[in-house]
Amino acid sequence: MNKKTIRYILINRWAAFIHDLVWVVLAIVLAYWFRYNLEVIPQVDYNSLISLLLISVPVHGVVFWLFYLYRGFWRFASIPDLIRILKSVSLGAVIVTAVCALVTRFDGVPRSVFLLYPLLLAGGMSLSRIAYRWLTRQKFRVSARDGKRTLIVGAGSGGELLVRDLLQRVEYQPIAFVDDDTTKLNRDIHGIKVMGKKADLGELVRSLSIELVLLAIPSADKKTVHCFVNQCNQINVPCQILPSVFEMAGRGVDADSLRKVTVEDLLGREPVLLNTKAISSYLKGKVVLVTGGGGSIGSELCRQLANQEPRVLIVYDNGEFNLYSIDYELREKFPELNLESVLGDVKDIDRVNWVFKTFSPEVVFHAAAYKHVPMVEMNPAEGVNNNIFGTKVVADAAVDHFVDRFVMVSTDKAVNPANIMGTTKRVAEIYCQNLAALSKTKFITTRFGNVLGSAGSVVPLFQKQIESGGPVTVTHKDITRYFMTIPESVGLILQAGSMGKGGEIFVLDMGKPVLIRNLAEQMIRLSGVSSGGAVEIVYTGLRPGEKLYEEILHESEGLEPTDHPKLLLARSREVDWDWLSAEFKSLQIATRSRDIKLLKSHLQNIVPEFKEFRE
């Protein structure tokens, strides 16, 4: 807060304080005047009047200050402010009456004055604030004539709070509400009328020359948001929404909260309810390590873990900028967090063992991986080295240092893999599952689909293509993928960590897969361009290692329900440990020599269902 702002606030506070003291004087003088039927106050009562003023002004001044009457702004005066005025005036009047009784014994003071002046004082102070707020609002309304003509969908508490704020801003000119609750029809909210239902949106936008439509229903489900966006697209009017109740996280409703509709709003599923008590039970007060902590999933893991109050949070990443970014963010948002940021590679045995020896982590979340299918397909040895042997390094260190839980982040591409990336993740799953049987460390795997907005995902790519004018490239018109939001996927990881006993693969019930063609069309519409307009969709053909659809489990794994309705359990497949160890040694030799044919042969041995895609 700069000096100019501080000076402005102080001047306003003192002006309000002096105003109230003036009203103390006016209230007492008016009380005397009313006592004498609005006629001239007798000369004989002047002394008692002055005595009462000398007592009441300092007493009320102290009481007003103690009741914090000067912390708020008059233009935001509300019922709680009026209640504080009534309480402070009442207490002040009691004290003044008591002091007068002790000092003057009410000599020459009409008794009715002690009843009249508190009423006049409370009324004067309250009416001044109400009048100021009304005048200020009128001024903003006049100045807002050039603001965007705005229609608000939702006349509930969210809409009421939003329009109250919009009326204070020059950028907006609220015109009308719409709401499907018929009891609200034709009612006014802060002077803005509820003029119809959601079905009337198109007609009202045209007849009222609306320039912006706002959805003010934080509790709206995905279906409601989808219908709202479709309506606005059909009538060609810009739209914005208030974030969901979960996104708001206790923040107030105002115009600053408004944002554009995102693809997450349309494709993200309903929030998965988590057992927060179970999650907290294994994380609070613990030393927690996150590998790949600067990535899309890893950084969100760190944010949610910070809320669980770990004793120490260790963020491990080989990307300097990513590590710096999440370190800066966490220190800003969680100043009390005991944070250790470590720059290092999961393939570096010495560095990994140093971390475990130095900090003694009790829970490990392994999110470090190469996950971009075409890039790993072009660099298979590096994918194997990072995703398989990097996982082995961290997992072995967890066993050697007696870590309680090791949660590995996997992918649906590990099921019946058609590419190197998916196969490396499946091998990592197999290693962790079988290592669990040989150690006291609980190895838990979480498997889920694509994450909306993560690095390397299709959403940022489409966004970049749309911004550059297209075309938007889709590999196949029938290609589908499962999607979830980053917070949702991380919630699954944390929940699975609380449920696992060791060796399990937890799979999220991901609902229906999304047609990528539809995703592209929706993103084009959200950008304000019709899918049949300037931005074209071009089909480029499936890439090496890419399947038309992803699966969530191998046919031999089966699925079993768990205590959580959205989490399913895949049965683990045990292999002979000596055989697996021998295959790992051979695979490592092929990786170091960059013998890709031999490398793929050993991957095929470990994961028989691996069938390399060829178009």
The domains of the chain are located at 3-140, 147-261, 276-457+482-533+551-575
Answer for the pair 523, 463: CB distance below 8 angstroms, yes or no.
yes
Q: What would the two tokens of residue 322 be?
A: 């990513």
Q: How confident is the model at residue 615 (pLDDT cuts 50, 70, 90)?
A: very low
* Nearest-angstrom CA–CA distance, 220 and 271: 12
* 5 vs 367: which has the higher pLDDT: 367
Q: Check 413, 425, 442, 566 and give the catalytic one.
A: 413
Q: What would the two tokens of residue 426 be?
A: 């499946």
* Nearest-angstrom CA–CA distance, 120 and 368: 70
* Nearest-angstrom CA–CA distance, 328 and 537: 39
Structural element, H or E, at residue 231:
helix 222-234
Burial 227-260 (b: 16+ CB within 10 A, else e): ebbebbbebebebbbbebeeeeeeeebebebbee
Rg (CA), the chain: 33
Nearest to 227 by CA among 204, 255, 205, 201: 201
- In this prediction, residue 249 carries a pLDDT of 47
259: which DSSP letter? B
* Nearest-angstrom CA–CA distance, 341 and 317: 8
Phi, psi (5° rounding) for residue 188?
Answer: -100, 140
For 347-358, what is the mean pLDDT?
A: 97
147-261 CATH fold:
Rossmann fold (3.40.50)
Q: Does 303 score more than 50 pLDDT?
A: yes
Q: What is the 3-state secondary structure (H, E, C) of 340-404?
A: EEEECCCCCHHHHHHHHHHHCCCEEEECCCCCCHHHHHHCHHHHHHHHHHHHHHHHHHHHHCCCC
* Nearest-angstrom CA–CA distance, 284 and 76: 40
Q: What is the pLDDT of residues 18-62, one digit of tens each?
A: 888 999 999 988 988 888 877 777 776 777 888 888 889 999 989
For 266-295, what is the mean pLDDT?
A: 83
- In this prediction, residue 531 carries a pLDDT of 45
Which residues on neighbouring strands pair with residue 450, listed in sequence order? 483
For 222-235, what is the mean pLDDT?
A: 83
Answer for the pair 55, 100: CB distance below 8 angstroms, yes or no.
yes
- In this prediction, residue 614 carries a pLDDT of 52
Q: Does 445 score more than 70 pLDDT?
A: yes
Q: What is the pLDDT of residues 411-432, one digit of tens each?
A: 888 888 889 999 999 999 999 9
276-457+482-533+551-575 CATH fold:
Rossmann fold (3.40.50)
Nearest to 568 by CA among 495, 485, 512, 514: 495
Q: Does 463 score more than 80 pLDDT?
A: no
- In this prediction, residue 397 carries a pLDDT of 97
- In this prediction, residue 144 carries a pLDDT of 47
Strand order in the sheet with 239-241: 188-189, 192-194, 172-178, 148-153, 212-215, 239-241
Q: How confident is the model at residue 105 (pLDDT cuts 50, 70, 90)?
A: confident
Q: Which of 237-241, 492-496, 543-547 has the lowest mean pLDDT?
A: 543-547
* Nearest-angstrom CA–CA distance, 465 and 461: 6
Residue type present at position 420: I
For 265-280, what is the mean pLDDT?
A: 71
What region does 249 belong to: left with phi over 0, alpha with psi -120 to 50, or beta? left
Q: How confident is the model at residue 361 (pLDDT cuts 50, 70, 90)?
A: very high
* Nearest-angstrom CA–CA distance, 491 and 482: 17
Nearest to 490 by CA among 281, 300, 256, 257: 300
Half-sphere exposure (CA, 13 Å, Cβ side) for 243? 14
Sign of CA dihedral 416, 421, 425, 431: positive
147-261 and 276-457+482-533+551-575 share one CATH topology?
Answer: yes
Answer for the pair 17, 61: CB distance below 8 angstroms, yes or no.
yes
Q: Does 370 score more than 90 pLDDT?
A: yes
Q: What is the 3-state secondary structure (H, E, C) of 36-76?
A: CCCCCCCHHHHHHHHHHHHHHHHHHHHHHHHCCCCCCCHHH
- In this prediction, residue 158 carries a pLDDT of 84
Structural element, H or E, at residue 3:
helix 3-35
Structural element, H or E, at residue 484:
strand 483-485
* Nearest-angstrom CA–CA distance, 33 and 92: 21
In the annotation, is 413 catalytic? Answer: yes
Segment of 71-80, 88-97, 350-359, 478-487 carrying the highest mean pLDDT: 350-359
- In this prediction, residue 347 carries a pLDDT of 96
Give the distance, in angstroms, between the CA of residue 333 and the centroid of all CA atoms in the same chain. 13
Nearest to 504 by CA among 375, 405, 383: 405
- In this prediction, residue 47 carries a pLDDT of 79
Residue count of the chain, please give it: 615
Q: What is the pLDDT of residues 242-255, one digit of tens each?
A: 775 445 444 556 56
For 143-158, what is the mean pLDDT?
A: 80
What is the SS3 assignment for 412? helix
Answer for the pair 241, 212: CB distance below 8 angstroms, yes or no.
no
Q: What is the 3-state secondary structure (H, E, C) of 130-158?
A: HHHHHHHHHHHHHHHHHCEEEEEECCCHH
Q: How confident is the model at residue 84 (pLDDT cuts 50, 70, 90)?
A: confident
Give the C-alpha distances (Å, rounded to integers) separating 605 from 75, 369, 386, 420, 555: 74, 22, 19, 13, 18
Residue 465 burial by Cβ neighbours in a 10 Å radius (0-12, 13-18, 19+): buried
* Nearest-angstrom CA–CA distance, 131 and 126: 9
